[in-house]
Chain A
């Protein structure tokens, strides 16, 4: 009787079994059943599953205008440039925005989803949902796709390199989310400088070695006394880091190893050099690299604003595709381009375009993706999705599917809440060959 006192009484009236069943069916079992019923939408044997051994995610921060790039229009919402015809091979991709001159030539390598649509027109929230598949919550941080891949596929084999890297990042959020921090992408703030603090500050390698062994000697008694996992893990991090400092793999971070012709081709700017660094990292075995770029928040004078931002994106993206192709990496590497939302079809009073989540585009190349292909569409002015709407959740699930992740598998967070890659989004199989 006394023990009842502390029982949480209000809910005790409810049938416990019913609640458990609701929770289980509502949250975990049904989605898988749905997927099975709909015919296999993912998993081994479905189109494109696991073809992308590596992913390079090109992030267009600020909200990339869809009408001036991947979903050009002729009518009243047309931007400052005229759409251009493209080399799409046998695909259904007809034209691109007028600023996409170089991409037009490699259009036979890309698939575009023109029917993206999300709920939020705020930068932070939009970025978060596009990178995690989840809306931001004050009570949990969700993992980015690189961390999901580390969870399901394990640590990359062989090299001392990290599984994931984020280039040009202001911050690495959302990072590993609720997974261990070891799955967090390593941030590279400037591609020219490579990994921060990687070089010893000592004048000689010998002195650095001396310092390390001195640390070990002074620390022996402490480490013997406290044999806890925390202390051990720290020592392992030191060992791993020292190994990385000495590793040949480190060259993957060093752009100076590239011939200057290649460096010029990518363009001498942070985005171009970041994309080149991404190729070097992928080549060395890094699984997931995000390269960030900005300048797309074009509220004012879009004609002028588009100038360098769009042409830089155009030439870097095209250079990356060609480079991956010539290095034999395009088959196994998927390049994805995304942004937090599109921009208003109507030009505003400041000759700019504002935030627009209702319709926008994402682009895919390599890693088993069809060439010259368009999935979904918007109306004649680019205002509304008219066919095959695709959510940020579907977008995440598509990347996860391509990487061979079990996107319908429920993973419990340490706080015992259920999560899946892309929050139960459905992979867009049509873009895979």
Chain B
């Protein structure tokens, strides 16, 4: 009885402080004496609902419990946290989220009143169809809808058309492209790595395939953290090879991205503001203390033989290679570095050494240990009970165990931050701001703007078993998401309560892919050619004793010709783009477009180009794009930092928007948008076609008048209108 009071009082306290943690876990006993650890959610008629630590909820007759537990359950206060049954529908799941957001809106008002702000009375009004179709295309498939897609949705009279469109888009190739862009920015995915000739291409391809297969987030992360081998043998190895030689930086990023925990300071000294010590950071790093990313750099490793073999191969083969080149009359001086780099790229692989070599830094200055002391692996905790969680029960005896142990701990549903970190990020993708900011440092979930919402989202992420697509489907179906964008000015750092999404500037990728929609119609039909060319041509087995100079040269030659092959696959012009977008069953493309080879024939292998620009989705271009590219000027992340893109303007960016090649492309009479417009006769219809193609809405009466005036003076009228619409703030912001 005494225990009961104690339990009860602690639950009451938790309710009073608006607990962000789940209700207390206790051991329940059933009539046959079996026991389970779970928290009490509530009573539902004759049934009791319990939640086990893996986040799963269980509903069963109360009478199955022991008499003592039955009595206890009847006295317990139900959790104020909504609980979803494992098989809840999307509509139920979305409604539960809306409820929590609505609770948060009500709670916000006293605080707002203090700041002299008007009370929030509910969600913003529902976004209209024009706003919704544009937003949901940009958010899910990363581009504006084309003319046909826009009009089709607006004209659809099905009351479920929003949910239907969400489903359609989530299962389209555009979803994969858009999701890759987000992951690539978050994980700093790069094509050209710091090391000569080592390219991220196989890693990029691997990640794109995982997204296509909708591999769950926990599996994706687990595979990246535990991958072995060369990148072209196992694309997931790219995650560690991305930061080859910088394991501590890699770890700091791992914790920030996957666990929303920023320990970057502790890499060099005790964290001055939060509670991480440098020692704790090194304990975490110790899980990677036996891992190596270059077989040459690895001393005393199990595969020492391999490392030596590769060194030997390079040293013994080089003189022979030089001799062969010289005798064939070529200049060895021009080829030597290239060949060496080609061979050394093949020394980069992820593997394990015999021993954990992690040591404290030479300048360690705290009294709890000495500089250069070895460090044992140990997981960080966020609260004192964490160490009892399933995630913390990992085997770390041998060097081989360390990385898998870390990966299991990270991706376990019971890890206190793993589900929360990705759920919080995904929320930000939809609303423009996270429940807990910054997403790389959640710190104390109780300080989040809506702690119950944050906890619930984490639980939902676990309930859908880390299926990102399923999770996003729930979010996109909420009333909160489908409301109008908030017009109120939100100062930096001011709490935001999700009465609707925030106004967001397009990302660089969304802007570029929207341009591609205007010139190509359906940009996903233009795929990236020959993606495994690099993997096939770079691979060389340096440990093979039979490797000879001639083989190296033949393979090197093929490797060098790769770029030529890629160039040869570019051709075709603007006029080759797009099918018959506007009138279904109407006349096929006329004039010069029809005279060219049909676009469909070219898509297989060829990319269209305009003035040197390859006309394809951002996700299929070099990662990140080269300097001077539209994407870079528009703020694409250079992929050096987590979420490193820039959403603000700059002089070069505005110059590019006004006078750049991409602009000339859109206003050129060959462009698809012109051809779409040509299909209707009257000027007012043409104006409407332009508005629907670019801003995905019909023009207002006032705008029709403006357009009429603009068209009356001169034949450049339509080009001027395209230019003017693309350069509006309305175009680059998502409402």
Contact = CB atoms under 8 A, between A and B. Distances in A.
Q: Are A and B associated in one complex?
A: yes
Interface in B246-292: 246, 249-250, 252-253, 256, 262, 264-265, 267, 269-270, 272-277, 280
Contact of A20 (B264, B272, B381, B635): B272
B264 A140 contact: yes
Query: Which of B365, B383, B485, B652 has the most C-beta atoms of chain A within 10 angstroms of its own C-beta?
Result: B652
Nearest to B10: A2
A200 B659 contact: yes
A237 B253 contact: no
Contact of B659 (A12, A26, A199): A199
B337 A201 contact: no
Contact of A231 (B280, B383, B503, B658): B503
Nearest to A219: B728
A11 B720 contact: no
A417 B732 CA distance: 33
B724 A214 contact: yes
B280 A10 contact: yes
Given A171-B627, A181-B648, A198 B270 contact: no
Contacts of B382: 6, 8
B14 A2 contact: yes
A6 B444 contact: yes
Interface string A202-240: 110001001100110111011101111111011101101
A14 B276 CA distance: 11
A215 B273 contact: no
Nearest to A234: B649
A12 B265 CA distance: 18
B654 interface: yes
Given A124-B194, A223-B729, A237-B650, A138 B383 contact: no
A144 B654 CA distance: 23
A330 B505 CA distance: 44
Contact of B381 (A10, A171, A229): A10
A138 B250 contact: yes
A350 B253 CA distance: 41
A284 interface: no
B658 A241 contact: yes
Contacts of A3: 17, 446
A211 B628 contact: no
Contacts of A10: 275, 277, 280, 380-381
B214 interface: no
A139 B641 contact: yes
Given A6-B445, A181-B646, A198-B659, A228 B489 contact: yes
A231 B272 contact: no
B640 A141 contact: yes
A394 to B, nearest CB: 19
B652 A2 contact: no
Contacts of A237: 649-651, 653-654
Contacts of B524: none
Contacts of A223: 729
A196 B336 contact: no
Contacts of A231: 503, 729, 733
A19 interface: yes
Given A27-B272, A214-B724, A231-B503, A139 B264 contact: yes
B487 interface: yes
Query: Which of B641, B658, B667, B720 has the most C-beta atoms of chain A within 10 angstroms of its own C-beta?
Result: B658
A231 B273 CA distance: 34
A349 B574 CA distance: 53
B663 A417 contact: no
Contact of B628 (A139, A189, A228): A189
Contacts of B729: 219, 222-223, 226, 231, 234-235
B648 A1 contact: no
Contact of A2 (B13, B336, B663): B13
Interface in A267-302: 299-301
Contacts of A222: 728-730, 733
A257 interface: no
Nearest to B648: A181
Nearest to B16: A2
Interface in B465-519: 485, 487, 489-490, 503, 505
A138 to B, nearest CB: 3
Contacts of A12: 275
Given A137-B264, A187-B627, A221-B700, 20 more contacts: A5-B384, A8-B276, A10-B275, A12-B275, A138-B188, A184-B650, A196-B660, A197-B655, A200-B659, A214-B720, A215-B727, A218-B706, A218-B730, A219-B728, A226-B733, A229-B489, A234-B729, A235-B729, A241-B655, A350-B333
Closest 3 pairs between A and B when the two form their complex, measured CB to CB: A138-B249, A23-B272, A11-B275
23 contacts: A2-B17, A5-B385, A6-B445, A9-B381, A23-B273, A138-B641, A139-B642, A141-B641, A181-B635, A196-B628, A196-B655, A197-B655, A201-B659, A210-B710, A210-B720, A214-B706, A218-B724, A221-B700, A228-B503, A230-B648, A231-B729, A237-B654, A300-B333
